[in-house]
Amino acid sequence: MRKISLIVIHCSATRSNQCFTVEDLRACHNAQFHGKGIGYHYYITRDGQLYQTRSEAEVGMHARRYNAHSIGICYEGGLDEHGRAADTRTPAQKAALVALLRSLKVDYPDAKILGHRELPNVHKDCPCFLPSKEYSQLNDNQKLGKADFLSV
């Protein structure tokens, strides 16, 4: 079993008025990673649909130098209709993301939740918001149990 110390959130860097399905993501990553599949462990589309796109036991391909000990989550979007970086998460995506994070914190209570941009030496806007701030309560509550997850 891998030792997970980070949960890294990403955006797909697609415009808010364009669809980027899980199939689109798969094609993009297969081209980028020479047929090795999607680099993120989870993908959340605008309608809040959550896809597990890689086994948690498998090392991801989403954050160079951090993949061995992290889980990668990506949401569809991250650019406004003009192509500028923006937090374009829908209410459904926000709900799906927080539910996923709560679940992951049960399995990986010591993992810190960060955005890709919050990793050292990363010079990107991804995921276009600050997960460490938005999810600070989950980061501070290092010992969530199954009962806490079910009651939230």
Q: Which residues are catalytic?
A: 10, 40, 116, 124, 126
Those residues whose C-beta lies under 8 Å from the C-beta of residue 73, and which sit 6 or more positions away, are: 7, 8, 9, 10, 40, 41, 42, 43, 44, 97, 100, 101
CATH homologous superfamily for the domain 6-130: Peptidoglycan recognition protein-like (3.40.80.10)
**pTM of this structure:** 0.90
**What is the distance between the alpha carbons of residues 115 and 130, in angstroms, rounded to a whole number?**
6
pLDDT digits (tens, 9 = 90+) for 9-61: 999 999 999 999 999 999 999 998 888 999 999 999 999 999 999 999 999 99
Per-residue pLDDT reduced to its tens digit, 84-127: 999 999 999 999 999 999 999 999 999 999 999 999 999 999 99
Ordered by start, the domain boundaries in the chain are 6-130
